[in-house]
Amino acid sequence: MRTLEQTTQEVLDLASKHFHVPAGSLAPEDDFFKKLGIDSLETLEMLSRLENHFGIELPDYEVQGVSDFRTLASRIQSRL
Amino acid sequence: MLDLSQYQSIGAALKDALDQFSNEVCVIESDREREKERLTYRDFKARAHPLAKALEDAGFGAGDRASIIMTNQSKWLISAYAVFYAGGVLVPLDYKLTPDEQWQLLKHSGANALVTEYPIWRQLSEAQGRSTTTNVKTVLVTEAPKSAELRGATRWEGFTGSGEPAFVPRTRQDLAAIVYSSGTGGRPKGCLMTHENYLEQCVALTSIYPFSPGVRYLSILPTNHAIDFMVGFFGPFICGATVVHLRTLRPEYVREAFSKYKITYVSLVPLVLKNLQKGLEARFAELPAGKRKMFNALVAVNRALTKSRPRLGLSRRLLKEVHNAFGGELRAIIVGGAFTEPQTLQFFYDLGIPVANGYGLTETVVAVTVNDLNPFRADTVGKPLPGMEVRIVHPAADGIGEVAVRGKTIMSGYLNEPELTAETIIDGWLMTGDLGRFDAAGHLQLFGRKKNMIVTEEGKNIYPEDIEAAFDGLPVKEFCIFAANYIWPQRSMVGEQLLLALHQEPGQTYTEELCRDISARNGKLLNYKRIHGVVLYEEDFPRTASLKIKRNALREQLAKLDRATAVLPL
């Protein structure tokens, strides 16, 4: 079982890979809309990648209003 | 299609539609790869009538207000039907608002009942806003887990009455819905819509884009949005068509739905349409050089052959692969909620996929003008719909002035706001605050806004005063938020931004620390509500005797600054 820290790190790694930003340039408290310059649709694409990676399903309502990596990771963690 | 001229209310028309089209499929609900539900109009009635009866048994009756806060699904439509059947007034609210914003609008609307989903109720019941005194007596919650703590709510699934409910008739002039055009700040704008507004709008729209049994509409825009309520519920139902709901809007499942359900129509906001365009362009660019050349030639042929009118059959043969990706039966994409750039409209039309763009406001139900595709015009928002009068007020030398609208689809006013209503509807004409002019062919073209607001590409109306609370306590003398184009008119409907005008204390400088404070507060706002820059102003803001900022006077002062140098990006 992963810890929340591990999950958060995996989320950050995946996001930096998916959106081609240098590894290590993202922090848990970053607002991913702002930091990655992405819109709500691109966020949905990122969520699909995360679901595949973690082998879970994240209903849309669970990520409604979430805009930072740490909260996103905690929503994922609660479903692992 | 039912002859809507014979009907007095939405409820009466829907009631007959369920009987007339009883064997047709009315709703399909899909969740990722799984089809959760497929209801005929008969099945729909069997679900909706016990709910209507239970509402009536609970004392809900003519003129009572019921709010729905749900994602798109069959239970949204079943609940709305039951409310109309029982003579109620619908208050559709955006499920994407924060719980406190939702409580504020529940209070403002005077809703007696609330229908919502368990995850939304969980947040609503924990929110501070719950302490707000409202009229809500009945809360129905869908799909609550067995062990869930319901916190005063009742399970939707168990809320059924036995025996037939009594249909409660309404007249055309009665209130059918309170629809919020925006505004969760100090002054929510609840548009009062009558049954006549909806009946007349439906007749006008279906005369151009007809629905019938066999037509399948993919419902992606939230059903609380005026467009989806009309073309994803009322319109298809009174024509016996099918509505397809998706529980998740991830791009891969949306793509799959087009082919799986052979979608006929879909509505999108400009942002999604533009993303779709980007995705397709990227795929076309990946084609090998020879194939790409051939593809471009076919697009050019299609463009030439569809110049005067769409020829769907021909386009589907010429550009088979593109059309197959959309399921092969797509007739048009309906776009709305915000302005769509002409090049995006042209891109899809050249592929043989007409985009039904138009112009409308929440205050006019859905649409005032629509492109009738006869011929297709990417540079306009189309011609006035049958029954709509549109004129340009006080046009400048170039013919551009404020767009005013009159017709049977205009709201009767804003809830509890007689002054705002009187400013907005003058002698029966709705003053839209948008700037436009007609061309020689009678098409309306839009050139920006006269009012202090922006509309995002996601179709969200943002009024600056609604987000000022996020900056309360900022260590400056005073501040005010503006739409940039309101200060410096651009004659453009795209790239709208919000700016924070700041007046600092004497001797105070604009430090990095202050900039960080502003950015931090900005970051807590939903992304589409965020400001893009700061304008420093060195004088006291002009104020009224009661110390309210005179926004218009301040705007005139700020307009004297050079936008290029005055705006400090965040």
Cβ contact, residue pair A61, B117, below 8 Å? yes
Pure H helices in B150-288: 195-208, 226-229, 235-237, 251-261, 270-285
Per DSSP, B535 falls in state: E
Range with top average pLDDT, B74-88, B89-103, B544-558:
B74-88
Q: For tokens 């949005």, what's the residue?
A: B225
What are the tokens at B124?
Answer: 């609503």
CA-wise closest residue to A31 among A76, A74, A67, A77: A67
pLDDT-derived band at B109 (thresholds 50, 70, 90) equals very high
In CATH, what class is B467-569?
Answer: alpha beta
Spatial separation of the C-alpha atoms in residues B360 and B226, rounded to whole Å: 10
CA-wise closest residue to B461 among B120, B191, B229, B220: B191
Spatial separation of the C-alpha atoms in residues B531 and B110, rounded to whole Å: 32
The enclosing H or E element of B249 equals none
Q: How many CB pairs under 8 A join A and B?
A: 46
* pLDDT reported for residue A57: 86
Q: In this model, does residue B185 exceed pLDDT 90?
A: no
Interface test with B, best of A60, A62, A79 (most B CBs within 10 A): A60
Chain centroid, CA B194 distance in Å: 18
Interface test with B, best of A30, A31, A40 (most B CBs within 10 A): A40
* pLDDT reported for residue A32: 86
Taking only the tens place, the pLDDT of each residue in B388-399 is: 999 999 999 989
First-to-last alpha carbon distance for chain A, in angstroms, is 8
| CB contacts, 8 Å: A31 with chain B | 523
Domain-wise residue ranges, chain B: 4-266, 467-569
In CATH, what class is B4-266?
Answer: alpha beta
What are the tokens at B437?
Answer: 């002019």
Taking only the tens place, the pLDDT of each residue in B246-278 is: 988 888 888 899 999 999 999 998 888 988 898
| CB contacts, 8 Å: B250 with chain A | 44-45, 47-48
* pLDDT reported for residue B337: 84
3-class DSSP state of A59: coil
Cβ contact, residue pair B247, A59, below 8 Å? yes
CB contact set of B414 (below 8 Å; sequence gap of 6+): B189, B190, B191, B192, B420, B421, B424
Nearest to A34 among B248, B272, B523 (CB): B523
What are the tokens at B287?
Answer: 């084609």
Spatial separation of the C-alpha atoms in residues B29 and B219, rounded to whole Å: 10
What's the rounded mean pLDDT across residues B411-435? Answer: 95
Q: How many CB atoms lie within 10 A of CB B408?
A: 16
Spatial separation of the C-alpha atoms in residues B257 and B260, rounded to whole Å: 5
Q: How far is B110 from chain A (nearest CA, A)?
A: 26
In the stretch 95-124 of chain B, residues with CB closer than 8 A to chain A read 95-96, 98, 117, 119-120
Q: Are A72 and A65 in contact (CB under 8 A)?
A: no
The number of helices, as runs of H, and strands, as runs of E, in chain A is 5, 0
- For residue B243, give Cα distances in angstroms to B28, B219, B253, B259, B499: 6, 7, 16, 15, 40
Does the beta carbon of B162 lie under 8 angstroms from any beta carbon of chain A? no
Contact residues, chain A to chain B, C-beta under 8 Å: 31, 33-34, 39-42, 44-45, 47-48, 57, 59-62, 64-65, 67
Q: For tokens 């002035």, what's the residue?
A: B401
* pLDDT reported for residue B149: 92
Spatial separation of the C-alpha atoms in residues B564 and B570, rounded to whole Å: 14
Taking only the tens place, the pLDDT of each residue in B123-156 is: 899 998 888 788 999 999 999 989 899 999 999 9
Q: How many CB atoms lie within 10 A of CB B422?
A: 11
Taking only the tens place, the pLDDT of each residue in B4-35 is: 999 999 999 999 999 999 999 999 999 988 99
What's the rounded mean pLDDT across residues B299-316? Answer: 96
What are the tokens at B419?
Answer: 């002054």
Spatial separation of the C-alpha atoms in residues B380 and B442, rounded to whole Å: 10
Q: How far is A80 from chain B (nearest CA, A)?
A: 19
The phi and psi torsions of B390 (rounded to 5 degrees) equal -130, 130
CB contact set of B51 (below 8 Å; sequence gap of 6+): B78, B79, B82, B156, B159, B160, B161
* pLDDT reported for residue B184: 46
Report the length, in residues, of chain A: 80
What are the tokens at B318?
Answer: 């010429």
* pLDDT reported for residue B182: 65
pLDDT-derived band at B454 (thresholds 50, 70, 90) equals confident
Does the beta carbon of B32 lie under 8 angstroms from any beta carbon of chain A? yes
Q: How many CB atoms lie within 10 A of CB A6?
A: 12
Taking only the tens place, the pLDDT of each residue in B462-484 is: 888 878 888 988 999 999 999 99
Higher pLDDT: B448 or B80? It is: B80
3-class DSSP state of B479: strand
Spatial separation of the C-alpha atoms in residues B36 and B15, rounded to whole Å: 25
In B42-72, which positions are buried (b, 16+ CB within 10 angstroms) versus exposed (e)?
Answer: ebbbebbbbbbbbbbebebeeebbbbbbbbb
DSSP string for residues in B251-279: HHHHHHHHHHHT-SEEEE-HHHHHHHHHH
* pLDDT reported for residue B564: 92
Domains in chain A (CATH in brackets) are 4-77 (1.10.1200.10)
First-to-last alpha carbon distance for chain B, in angstroms, is 53
Q: How many CB atoms lie within 10 A of CB B563?
A: 16
pLDDT-derived band at B405 (thresholds 50, 70, 90) equals very high
pLDDT-derived band at B515 (thresholds 50, 70, 90) equals very high
Q: Are B78 and B54 in contact (CB under 8 A)?
A: no
Taking only the tens place, the pLDDT of each residue in A16-70 is: 988 888 888 899 999 888 888 787 778 888 888 899 899 998 888 778 778 889 9
What are the tokens at A52?
Answer: 């595949």
Interface test with A, best of B527, B529, B530, B531 (most A CBs within 10 A): B527
Pure H helices in A2-39: 4-18, 32-36
Cβ contact, residue pair B527, A41, below 8 Å? no
Interface test with B, best of A18, A39, A41, A78 (most B CBs within 10 A): A41
pLDDT-derived band at B444 (thresholds 50, 70, 90) equals very high
Q: How many CB atoms lie within 10 A of CB B524?
A: 11
Q: How many CB atoms lie within 10 A of CB A20?
A: 7
Spatial separation of the C-alpha atoms in residues B442 and B439, rounded to whole Å: 5
Q: How far is B529 from chain A (nearest CA, A)?
A: 12
Cβ contact, residue pair B271, A41, below 8 Å? yes
ipTM: 0.73
Interface test with A, best of B250, B271, B526 (most A CBs within 10 A): B250
Q: For tokens 């007046």, what's the residue?
A: B503
* pLDDT reported for residue B186: 55
Q: How far is A56 from chain B (nearest CA, A)?
A: 13
Nearest to B71 among A33, A45, A61 (CB): A61
Does the beta carbon of B276 lie under 8 angstroms from any beta carbon of chain A? no
Cβ contact, residue pair B250, A31, below 8 Å? no
Spatial separation of the C-alpha atoms in residues B190 and A65, rounded to whole Å: 24
Q: How many CB atoms lie within 10 A of CB A19?
A: 16
* pLDDT reported for residue A31: 87
Mutual angle of helices B74-85 and B10-20, in 10-degree steps: 120
- Bridge partners of B67, per DSSP, are B91, B114
Higher pLDDT: B240 or B209? It is: B240
Q: For tokens 């020879």, what's the residue?
A: B290
Does the beta carbon of B255 lie under 8 angstroms from any beta carbon of chain A? no
What are the tokens at B432?
Answer: 């839209």
Taking only the tens place, the pLDDT of each residue in B201-230 is: 999 999 998 899 999 999 999 999 999 999
* pLDDT reported for residue B320: 96
Average pLDDT, chain B: 93
* pLDDT reported for residue B464: 87
3-class DSSP state of B393: strand
Antiparallel, parallel or unpaired: β B383-384 and B369-370: antiparallel
CA-wise closest residue to B346 among B381, B378, B301: B378
Give the whole-number percent of chain B exceeding pLDDT 70. Answer: 99
In the stretch 450-469 of chain B, residues with CB closer than 8 A to chain A read 458
Which chain B residue has the Cα nearest residue A47? B250
Spatial separation of the C-alpha atoms in residues B451 and B433, rounded to whole Å: 5
Cβ contact, residue pair A59, B248, below 8 Å? yes
